[in-house]
Amino acid sequence: MPAARHVICFGNALHGDDGFGPYIYQRLQQLDWPDDVRLFDAGVSGLDALGWLDGCREAILVDALANQGNPGTVHVFQPEPVDRLDNDLSGHAAGIPYLLQAAAAVYGTLPDIVVVGAEIDRIIPFAPGLSPAVAQAAEHALSIIRDRVMFQPS
């Protein structure tokens, strides 16, 4: 079984609360991690992030969430298996579910995956910076990620 644990952060720092993932990545970069932990800034890479799911036993995916609750609410969950996505074979705008479906098809089995996300308040094109609710949620999410990585055996 692969030994690495990956933290993969998604989002666009130029679009308001969609910058949640890149903000988390920047903050995680400032901390010391065990040797088996790798951090990735996936940006808006979509399927280009596929390779970052290879060679790891655990992956934490970090992303902004919409329609999951009140702005600033942090969610931690294991993604549901995706058998098929509706009619869009390109995967454009399908996000993490499409990435995981592709990874399962390419690799056969997936690492243990957990998503850490925050419910967004607003996405404003070309307006960097998190809303106050999401900035506060980021602090909570950082604590969750740090605890999850530091207190699980490597």
CB-based burial label for 110 (10 Å; 0-12, 13-18, 19+): middle
Mean pLDDT of 25-52: 93
Mean pLDDT of 102-106: 89
pLDDT tens readout for residues 6-27: 999 999 999 999 999 999 999 9
Classify domain 4-150 by CATH architecture: 3-Layer(aba) Sandwich (3.40)
Q: What is the pTM of this model?
A: 0.89
In the predicted model, is pLDDT for residue 91 greater than 70? no
Residue 65: its pLDDT value, please?
93
Please report, for the chain, the start and end positions of each structural domain, with discontinuous segments joined by +: 4-150
pLDDT tens readout for residues 112-136: 999 999 999 988 999 999 999 999 9
State the chain's mean pLDDT as an integer: 88
Residue 36: its pLDDT value, please?
94
